[in-house]
Structure 1
Amino acid sequence: MFFSIRSLSVAAVFSLGAVLNAADNPFVGRWALTIPGGGAGWLGVESKDGALSSSVLWGGGSVVPTAGTKVDGDTLIVTREQKNKEGKLSAIETITAKIEGDALKLTTAKKNAEGKEIGKPAEFAGKRIADIPAKPDLAKVKFGDPIQLLNGKDLTGWRLLKEADNGWSVVDGVLQNRVVKAKDKHFGNLRTDAEFEDFNLKTEVRTQEGSNSGIYLRGIYEVQIMESFGKPLDSHHMGALYSRITPSVNAEKPIGEWQTLDITLVDRHLTVILNGTTIIDNQPVLGCTGGAMTSDEFKPGPLYLQGDHTNVDYRNMVLRPVVK
């Protein structure tokens, strides 16, 4: 339907302008961040009904909504609030960003609840993430020869991600992680020497009491491994893409039982089959997850197993790379 702006009220014109400006806002989209200190982060900016909103991933943890999002001239201003254990405001972080092509130049500054500056402002960078392609037809995807990632004898082909205490060992053909809770102990994550692009991964996992681990695909996306049997569906429970995709159904077995995982990553789409039940069905992945080695979703990377939290067991891990 054609209409003339002249026929609209002043209020309607301003409303229409806000919608158009938001729709054309160059900040809207998803951004891969390299946060101060070099960690992986993510920023998503959305426009709905003429208003901007955003969510952010800052190194570890979950993707969380921000407290405020606005544009002032050529600058995006995002506000994050931090609260203490009692739920009281402890700090306010202000992130400002300017666009340079497909890149963001950002600065972060933090103040306490009384308005006093905390530390010094820090500069960091972001890069626009390309649109996610159409959902792949997995029936037409070709996979290469299987690669046995665990030899059942030792840690050949694996190494600690960073210098840390090593809780990983192979016992009776099982790759196990055993963590000792102590102030002077800091246990490490385990990664493959080899790096991969898209693939199918099949493995078995056995949770222990309070298990909290994860399988990082290409070191970027964490499929959660957790002892969460009997708990409600959640993006932080067994088989989820951590804080991003909640399983569609509970398929977890009780603690101590071996469970099968069949994971396929193709064209930034994820499928997870847990114990023979599809719980994530070829769903788009919007960005890295907490603890990622990098926010760059377009480079090969290793598998890495989270080992800095609790005890967990793995066996029979076989990867088939996508053949292009």
Structure 2
Amino acid sequence: MARTRFLGALALLTPLVAAAAENGNPLAGNWAFQLPDRSPLWIAIEGAHDAISVRLLWSVGAPQLVAHPRFANGTLEIPHPIRWKPHGRADHALAISEPIVARMVEGALQLECKVLGPNSGQKKRMRLIGKRIPHHPDRPDRAQVAFEAPISLFNGKDLAGWRLADPSKKNGWRAEGGELVNHTPKTTFDAYGEYGNLITDLEFEDHRLTLEYNVPAGGNSGVYLRGMYEAQVVDRDSQMQGLSGPGAIFGRIQPSHNAAKPGGEWNSYELTLVDRHVTVVLNDQVVIDNQPVEGCTGGGLAADDTLPGPVLLQGDHTSVRYRNIFAERRAPCLLATSPANSP
């Protein structure tokens, strides 16, 4: 419950991204990075000097508010201890205990830190260059948005059109009785697992995704739009609720209510992503209505909101089943022709 309240407080923080001339901080904004194992790193910097605020998402989990960041002379120190497992390998944990240093280098944000390996006392220096994420688009008028014909993403017979996101992981996925089934022995909710996530060969920009899922009681999976924004997949009575509960965009947008069914029953999802705004319909109930999604979800493929990406089904958590998976790409926007310009 305390974790849910903390995530809820983070979701209420409205980004105040402004130009350097307005706030005195050229670092201000939302930034996307890619870690050496190709997992996402996202950072949001607001304000300046004694009023600076920093939120950080490192590979997995939800964004965390950094305590006591320090900004002076164009340099930001981020005292946020980190421990993570590249590629999700349980035997290879890395750690950062000293402050991360951020500064602008040739118009981009550079992060520099010292990383401690798993079996040695030696620290290696790591530098990462980020990409500033563009300002959030205005809320789209859904009445003006059309979609193309549905594309069936699962043929019910085999895994044609799908592959593991990380080929080095174990594959628990198979087609079974017209369902896309993931079998793993994992029953915990920790962020890492030895089994792999599944992604489509096709990539998407704005689109609508419909599917059905069946997760056991206490189970956990997720559906990532563009491999980036996770619609949470847990049962109605899961210990994960609110920002991490059924119908949530994990760690980013809290659903209006819990519309999920008990574990072991089929649920339907309709997920629409347009102009970085998300609508979630769970079991025919709108639980997120055209809300802006500020940034990526941990555990996804990228932090850069401008990139297209595949549909990703989370397989590194517990067993889960999916079926009837369809995607509709956003149709091109056609400008109306005025009579004066008509031939």
For normalisation by structure 1, the TM-score amounts to 0.83
From 168, 173, 182, the equivalent of 1:168 is 173
* Equivalent position SS for 2:143: helix
- Partner in structure 1 of residue 227 of structure 2: 219
Q: CA deviation at 1:28?
A: 1.8
Q: CA-atom RMSD, angstroms?
A: 2.6
User: Between Structure 1 and Structure 2, which shows a larger proportion of strand residues?
Assistant: 1
State how far apart, in whole Å, the 2-side matches of 1:173 and 1:247 are. 30
Q: After the TM superposition, which residues 1-324 of structure 1 pair with which residues of structure 2 at under 5 Å, given as runs? A: 23-47=23-47, 51-81=51-81, 92-100=97-105, 102-109=107-114, 119-163=123-167, 164-181=169-186, 186-229=194-237, 233-324=241-332
How many residue pairs align between the two structures?
A: 294
Residues 279 and 143 (structure 1), Cα distance of their counterparts in 2 relative to 1, 3 Å cut: same
Residues 22 and 71 (structure 1), Cα distance of their counterparts in 2 relative to 1, 3 Å cut: farther
Percent same amino acid at aligned positions?
42
* Equivalent position SS for 2:52: strand
Query: Match of 2:306, as an amino acid?
Result: F
State how far apart, in whole Å, the 1-side matches of 2:184 and 2:99 are. 37
Q: Deviations over 1:175-195 (max 9, x none)?
A: 11111359xx92111111111
State how far apart, in whole Å, the 2-side matches of 1:231 and 1:311 are. 17
* Equivalent position SS for 1:139: helix
State how far apart, in whole Å, the 2-side matches of 1:275 and 1:203 are. 11
Does the 8 Å CA contact 1:104/1:126 hold for their aligned counterparts?
A: yes
Q: Deviations over 1:105-137 (max 9, x none)?
A: 1101368xxxxx862221111111110010001
Residues 102 and 91 (structure 1), Cα distance of their counterparts in 2 relative to 1, 3 Å cut: closer
Residues 253 and 137 (structure 1), Cα distance of their counterparts in 2 relative to 1, 3 Å cut: same
Does the 8 Å CA contact 2:215/2:321 hold for their aligned counterparts?
A: yes
Q: CA deviation at 1:309?
A: 1.1
Q: Deviations over 1:232-290 (max 9, x none)?
A: 74211112111111111111111111111010000111110111111111111111110
Does the 8 Å CA contact 1:35/1:125 hold for their aligned counterparts?
A: no
State how far apart, in whole Å, the 2-side matches of 1:292 and 1:230 are. 22
Query: Match of 1:223, as an amino acid?
Result: A
User: Could you list the runs of 4 or more consecutive aligned residues of structure 1 that deviate by over 3 angstroms after TM superposition?
Assistant: 90-93, 230-233
Structure index of larger Rg? 1
Residues 36 and 175 (structure 1), Cα distance of their counterparts in 2 relative to 1, 3 Å cut: closer
State how far apart, in whole Å, the 2-side matches of 1:46 and 1:287 are. 15
